[in-house]
Amino acid sequence: MPRIWLIKGIGPVMAKRIVKLFGEATLDVIEADIQKLIDVSGVGSKRVGMIGQAWEEQKGLKGPLKITSLVAKRDFKLRGYGFRKICF
């Protein structure tokens, strides 16, 4: 599963719903036609806007060494490991 739960506005449960609906096309949907996320249970226009804004801010962070402290903090909260452990 793509790590879309790192995007602000998408938690682990919502990520599963999105990936279940869009499968391997999930990142393409977020990139090219984010309004399709409204088809996911629990996603409304406000959340789509939040996800779209966060995606624009984070989409340059695709490489493993381009992770920010905010993303690492969220990763730590959700997965139990931190930035130092995975990058150093």
The domain ranges of the chain are 4-87
Of 62 and 86, more confident: 62
| Topology given in CATH for the domain delimited by 4-87 | DNA polymerase; domain 1 (1.10.150)
Reply yes or no on whether the pLDDT at 61 is more than 80.
no
pLDDT of 38 reads: 95
Q: Phi and psi at residue 11, in whole multiples of 5°? A: -100, 180
Are the beta carbons of 38 and 44 closer than 8 angstroms?
yes
Q: Phi and psi at residue 39, in whole multiples of 5°? A: -70, -10
Reply yes or no on whether the pLDDT at 64 is more than 90.
no
Q: What is the CA radius of gyration of the chain?
A: 13
Q: Which residue in this structure is represented by tokens 């393409």?
A: 28
Q: What is the pTM (predicted TM-score) of this model?
A: 0.65
Within 10 A of 24 (CB to CB), how many other CB atoms are there?
Answer: 9
Reply yes or no on whether the pLDDT at 46 is more than 70.
yes
